[in-house]
Amino acid sequence: MSILERLTDRIEGASGLDALTAPAAAFWGRVLSPSWLTTLASGTKLRHPAHPAAATFTAGSLLSASVLDAAGDRRMRPASELLITAGVVGALPTVVAGWSDWLYTEQAEKRVGLVHAATNATGLTAYGLSLLQRRRGGDGRTAGFVGAAVLAVGGWLGGHLAYAQGVRVDTNAFEAGPTDWTDVAATGDVTVALTQVEVDGVPLLLTRVAGTTVALADRCGHRGAPLSDGEREGDCVVCPWHGARYDLASGDVLTGPAVRPQPAYEVREAGGRVEVRRLEQRALRINPA
């Protein structure tokens, strides 16, 4: 096991961090309470989490500055300074989007997320110091190199959150719904109520929109809540856990923090029965168990 793996293990089990997560959650919960801000910070309009994209710009700018600094050519100093400035400015949306994602994490995820944020804040501060030194005629490279090293650790923790803990991964990414027409209910049983049915081990949400039967994946793509337990508002469903709003007919996300549309199934009705199938096919979904 590598040092960094041991580090992430220890952070995941560090229950002492929970004393810090509560006030941080209370603060960012207040800051991000307007639903439009949650939608913006989550990346709902992009159909992709905003934080990784913003972080790529920020970290890419800062680390590129350090690469230029490492080259040791003084003619590159203005370019290096410009890159640090871009990285520091880009940090603002990156930080807000990151805390927005963090609000919807749990337990070990929250601990790793907190240390990820603290580490990156330290790296960013080092780059800020580097920029200040440069503006005052100093060298500033050492502070930048320290920032690069610290950001590398922060980046590792961010990767652990996404790839090991599955934070911000669409919870329907590996859902294997039926790709052949499959009987799921009697036509008369489908009303405007939000009804959960299970097919091939996959929970589906059945309801009627303007008289037409629709079927969506029932597991909210954000963190996995059963949408059939949510509230219906007109032709939308509101997730019972974090309030994302989905269009029932299309599965599109109207309000964050969810970002990916819910998988929508084709529906046909014949002989008093409702059948569904999923057109979209991805290798992992159609791979037999």
Residues that bind ligand FES (CB under 6 A): 104, 220, 222-225, 239, 241-242, 244, 257-258
Between residues 50 and 68, which has the closer beta carbon with respect to ligand FES?
A: 50
Between residues 156 and 241, which has the closer beta carbon with respect to ligand FES?
A: 241
The CB-of-104 to ligand FES minimum distance in angstroms stands at: 6
Between residues 111 and 223, which has the closer beta carbon with respect to ligand FES?
A: 223
The CB-of-195 to ligand FES minimum distance in angstroms stands at: 18
Decide: 174 and 201 in contact? Cβ < 8 Å. Answer: no
Q: What is residue 229's DSSP assignment?
A: G
Residue 141: how many other CB atoms lie within 10 Å:
19
Between residues 204 and 225, which has the closer beta carbon with respect to ligand FES?
A: 225
Between residues 38 and 195, which has the closer beta carbon with respect to ligand FES?
A: 38
The CB-of-60 to ligand FES minimum distance in angstroms stands at: 29
The residue assigned the tokens 């960094």 is 4
The CB-of-228 to ligand FES minimum distance in angstroms stands at: 12
The CB-of-242 to ligand FES minimum distance in angstroms stands at: 3
The DSSP H or E segment spanning 270 is strand 264-270
Interatomic CA distance for residues 55 and 92, integer angstroms: 10
Q: What is residue 15's DSSP assignment?
A: G
Instruction: Report the side by side order of strands in the sheet with 212-217.
Output: 182-186, 273-277, 264-270, 212-217, 202-209, 195-199
Interatomic CA distance for residues 142 and 148, integer angstroms: 10
Decide: 217 and 204 in contact? Cβ < 8 Å. Answer: yes
